[in-house]
Amino acid sequence: MTNRVEGIAYNVIPVTNVDQSVEWYKKHLHFEVQHQRDDYAGLFFNNRPVLNLKKTDDESRATFNVNGEPHWIITLYTRDIKTLHNQLKEEGVQIGGISDEGHWGKFFTLYDPDGNMFDIWENHDCEINF
């Protein structure tokens, strides 16, 4: 079969100010920026697309609710969750505490300046190669 999905190319998230968001993602998560325009920017990691920032005046965010609590739709992977958590905390990023879920790994959440919520995940039993 030749016509099949082979992966996720990127995720699009809403932002109110593309330039401000680009700087935030570069500073705190070390993404590379490609294809930036007034209303859009592509964020890459190791020359692979990860996120597209799309300008919107709408109040929608890349988050949904479960039992009245916000939930993320995108999980980012790290090999050193403690160092990343400490770094983001020192930089004033809105983050949650680290949760250790045993063989499922360790997690914490963070918010970008527009309120888009992300999950950060570390799991040495399930190594991801980038």
Give the model confidence (pLDDT) of 78-99 as tens digits: 999 999 999 999 999 999 999 9
CA angle 35, 39, 40 (to 5 degrees): 35
Written as six digits, the tokens of 32 are 């590379």
- Confidence category of residue 127, pLDDT binned at 50, 70, 90: low
Residue 119 · residue 74 · CB < 8 Å: yes
Give the model confidence (pLDDT) of 55-71 as tens digits: 999 988 999 999 999 99
Average pLDDT over the chain reads 92
Higher-pLDDT residue of 83, 1: 83
113 pLDDT higher than 90: yes
pTM (two decimals): 0.88
Give the model confidence (pLDDT) of 27-57 as tens digits: 999 999 999 999 999 999 989 999 999 999 9
- Confidence category of residue 128, pLDDT binned at 50, 70, 90: low
Q: Helix count (H) and strand count (E) of the chain?
A: 2, 10
Distances (CA, A) of 32 to 48, 79, 87, 90: 9, 19, 19, 22
| Overall average pLDDT of the 110-118 stretch | 96
Residue 36 · residue 68 · CB < 8 Å: no
Return the pLDDT at 9: 87
